[in-house]
Amino acid sequence: QKEVEQNSGPLSVPEGAIASLNCTYSDRGSQSFFWYRQYSGKSPELIMFIYSNGDKEDGRFTAQLNKASQYVSLLIRDSQPSDSATYLCAVTNFGNEKLTFGTGTRLTIIP
Amino acid sequence: GAVVSQHPSWVICKSGTSVKIECRSLDFQATTMFWYRQFPKQSLMLMATSNEGSKATYEQGVEKDKFLINHASLTLSTLTVTSAHPEDSSFYICSASSSNYGYTFGSGTRLTVV
């Protein structure tokens, strides 16, 4: 079982709709959860991070964490064509700085 | 905000030669530097972790004699791919960790070995 799993997609969402990206992790000791966006040929850009159960909102983005279910998601509201990218979920464990990345979900926003 | 400058952004080299990739934190001190490799349509795979002034810790399956990491100061880390072969062609990315800025990624280096 992979440590961090994501649906590879592609996920197609109409412009203006909500895009929902999901990530599950296997290690219950995981402490910090990150969502990165990566455009083709570029390095990842941090969208947001979350540490505590519940929702965290930042502009059009909302991260949701459920530690009991070992599940973290990212919602993108009012999707724009510029949101088309690969979204990477990453996790760190207690006492360990290493980021473990999921395989990423490729998102396409259809104008 | 924090910036990590990574050079070169792309490099083409002949098989058997060595290539050095440099990552420099411009306005902060990076206590830890992570080096990743990413093959097409795959995720980032951690190669090694380095702390300033100490030997790098390599992930399982990564040859430490082939991928030489030097972290001589809190602002500079280098990765040297020695005796490169076509299978080493990949996108190499560094990430600096600091208490103030978390993880800051370099812009990546596209290595092509011919």
pLDDT tens digits, one per residue of B57-97: 999 999 999 999 998 888 999 999 999 999 999 999 999 98
Per cent of chain A over pLDDT 90 is: 84
What 3 state SS string does B48-105 have?
EEEECCCCCEECCCCCCCCEEEEEEECCEEEEEECCCCHHHCEEEEEEEEECCCEEEE
| Contact between residue B5 and residue B73 where contact means Cβ atoms under 8 Å apart | no
Contacts of A101 in chain B (CB under 8 A): 43-45
Nearest CB partner across the interface for B42, out of A34, A97, A103: A103
Supply the pLDDT for residue B88.
97
User: Under an 8 A CB cutoff, do B34 and A49 touch?
Assistant: no
Find, in chain B, the residue whose alpha carbon is nearest to that of A9. B41
Confidence of residue A96 (pLDDT cuts 50, 70, 90): low
Supply the pLDDT for residue B31.
84
